């Protein structure tokens, strides 16, 4: 047994932990990184990366089946196992960036053991005791498995196991109509499975209803059965024959079951009480600077109790680097954090939704909107469903919703605008190449100014005066 003294001990090698470790060690700090499972965490191995790879396979199959622009479609006959090979090939290609070898090459002391606190200044990891000036909890989250009667007695999948399934489900039942459930629903439907989604409340219930309706309409048009208000109350069956009964007594039968009802943070094995770190079911209790009740201990990413997105974990890493390495104050913000659901069409959001903006700012909110069916690139490529909607207060965007092609990419300009407190005139003054989908953002910004310019009697009087008395 050895005692290792270091400047920073990072617990968890997911997105947040890796970002902290890489940044800190390259700026001169001594760093110990603990990981008892897979390097890269949930995002690389079970989340963002494999899900987008499987969606890409489904997109390719769907594109082949659709006839358009004078080109006839044909049955794609997708190979489900080969699609999973693609998923794992993508993981393997990205894996070296998050690998133990790479981080040891940077100078990080990597220990492949789970860590648990044994005091306010020490963590135990296998045979080693790590004593550090600062600790970073970056343990992420895992799928939440609800206590539905019978669930424990039947075979089921979560996002941690579905990507290892090699045989295409004949009929996949998905419990949960959020982003994970609906992304997997569309991917599997396009790869040849029958899919039923059971949602206890409203599908995409956290998103702008107007935008969510467009996504749900498209998913249903592709043959995905989405049942809302269907709270699962009993599950029974065996491999290849699963029955889910909902609260109203309706029974749904399928061959496979995916549980996608949310996530729970990984705090239970950390012995946080011994470190004087407060926590609850949402995660570690942190202040605006992501510091816990033990001032030596920070938390980043999912376990910090806020948004559960990979890019948030990376953002958090940048926030805590300042106080840990330089003693400079830093606070985490949430108003500029975007997120996206990568269905087709995509749905992306940053800042306040329309409902939230109206609740907070009342009549002071102006809704600037542009439709994809007026976007020339969208028309040319047959991608005309959706819109960009921007919530504006006193000339500045406070939120934006985009539903349509490449919404996850298009939302970024509004994240930048909100992060830097830019005015709508900055986006309106942008020159976008023609024709591009990105023009929709400029059109939305211009929609804010149109009433002021084209419906203003004052403007018209000024123009008439200049035309009459101004120099020729």
Q: What is the pLDDT of residues 404-455, one digit of tens each?
A: 999 999 999 999 999 999 999 999 999 999 999 999 999 999 999 977 656 6
Q: Is pTM, for the whole model, over 0.85? A: yes
Structure tokens that stand for 305 in this block: 């109790």
Q: Which residues of 346-367 are buried (b: 16+ CB within 10 A; e: fewer)?
A: bbbbbbbbbeebeeebeeebbb
pLDDT, tens digit (0-9, with 9 covering 90-100), for 445-465: 999 997 765 666 676 777 677
List of E strands, 75-193: 109-111, 116-117, 122-125, 128-137, 141-143, 171-175
8 A C-beta contact, residue 321 and residue 332: no
Interior CA angle at 181 toward 229 and 441, to 5°?
Answer: 100
306 pLDDT band, cuts 50/70/90, is very high
Task: Write the DSSP symbol of residue 315.
Answer: H
pLDDT, tens digit (0-9, with 9 covering 90-100), for 153-173: 999 999 999 999 999 999 999
8 A C-beta contact, residue 199 and residue 230: yes
* Torsion angle of C-alpha atoms 90, 409, 213, 372, degrees rounded to 10: -130
CA distance 39 to 184: 24
Q: 52: how many CB neighbours lie within 10 A of its CB?
A: 16
pLDDT, tens digit (0-9, with 9 covering 90-100), for 172-196: 999 999 999 999 999 999 999 999 9
Nearest to 128 by CA among 140, 142, 114: 114
Query: Is-cis flag, bond preceding 316, omega within 30?
Result: no
Please report the pLDDT score of residue 158 as a whole number: 97
The proportion of the chain whose per-residue pLDDT surpasses 70, expressed as a percent, equals: 98
Q: 299: how many CB neighbours lie within 10 A of its CB?
A: 31
Nearest to 261 by CA among 313, 201, 190, 301: 201
Task: Write the DSSP symbol of residue 293.
Answer: S
pLDDT of 346 > 70? The answer is: yes
**Residue located via tokens 């960009």:** 388
């Amino acid at each position: 047994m050895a005692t290792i003294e270091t400047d920073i001990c990072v617990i968890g090698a997911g997105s947040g932990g890796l970002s902290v470790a890489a940044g800190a060690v390259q700026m001169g700090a001594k760093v110990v990184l603990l990981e008892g499972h897979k390097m890269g965490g949930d995002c690389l191995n079970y989340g963002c990366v494999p899900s987008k790879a499987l969606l890409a396979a489904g997109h390719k199959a769907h594109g082949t089946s659709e006839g358009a622009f004078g080109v006839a479609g044909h049955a794609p006959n997708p190979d489900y196992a080969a699609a999973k090979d693609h998923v794992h090939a993508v993981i393997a290609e990205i894996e070296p960036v998050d690998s133990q070898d790479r981080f040891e090459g940077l100078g990080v002391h990597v220990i492949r053991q789970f860590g648990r606190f044994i005091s306010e200044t020490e963590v135990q990891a296998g045979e080693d005791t790590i004593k550090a000036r600062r600790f970073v909890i970056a343990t992420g989250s895992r799928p939440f498995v609800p206590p539905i009667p019978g669930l424990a007695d039947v075979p089921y999948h979560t996002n941690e196991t579905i990507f290892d399934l090699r045989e295409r489900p004949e009929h996949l039942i998905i419990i949960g109509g959020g982003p994970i459930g609906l992304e997997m629903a569309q991917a599997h439907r396009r790869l040849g499975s029958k899919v039923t989604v059971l949602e206890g409340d409203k599908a995409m219930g956290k998103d702008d209803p107007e935008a969510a309706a467009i996504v749900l309409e498209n998913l249903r048009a592709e043959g995905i059965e989405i049942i809302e208000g269907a709270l699962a109350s009993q599950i029974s069956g065996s491999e290849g024959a699963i029955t889910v009964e909902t609260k109203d007594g309706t029974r749904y039968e399928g061959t496979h079951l995916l549980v996608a009802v949310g996530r729970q943070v990984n705090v239970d094995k950390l012995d946080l009480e011994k470190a004087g770190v407060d926590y609850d079911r949402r995660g570690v209790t942190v202040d605006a600077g992501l510091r816990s009740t033990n001032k030596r201990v920070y938390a980043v990413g999912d376990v910090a109790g806020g948004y559960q997105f990979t890019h948030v974990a990376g953002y958090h890493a940048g926030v805590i680097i300042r106080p840990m390495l330089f003693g400079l104050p830093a606070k985490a913000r949430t108003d500029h954090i975007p997120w996206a659901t990568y269905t087709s069409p995509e749905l992306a959001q940053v800042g306040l939704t329309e409902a939230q903006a109206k609740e907070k700012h009342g009549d002071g909110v102006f809704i600037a909107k542009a439709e994809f069916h007026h976007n020339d690139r969208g028309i040319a490529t047959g991608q005309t469903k959706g819109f960009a909607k921007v919530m504006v207060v006193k000339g500045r965007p406070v939120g934006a919703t985009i539903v349509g092609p490449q919404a996850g990419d298009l939302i970024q300009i509004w994240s930048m605008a909100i992060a830097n407190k830019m005015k709508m005139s900055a986006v309106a003054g942008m020159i976008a190449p023609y024709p591009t989908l990105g023009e929709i953002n400029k059109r939305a910004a211009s929609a804010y100014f149109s009433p002021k310019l084209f419906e203003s009697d004052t403007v018209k009087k000024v123009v008439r005066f200049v035309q009459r008395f101004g120099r020729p």
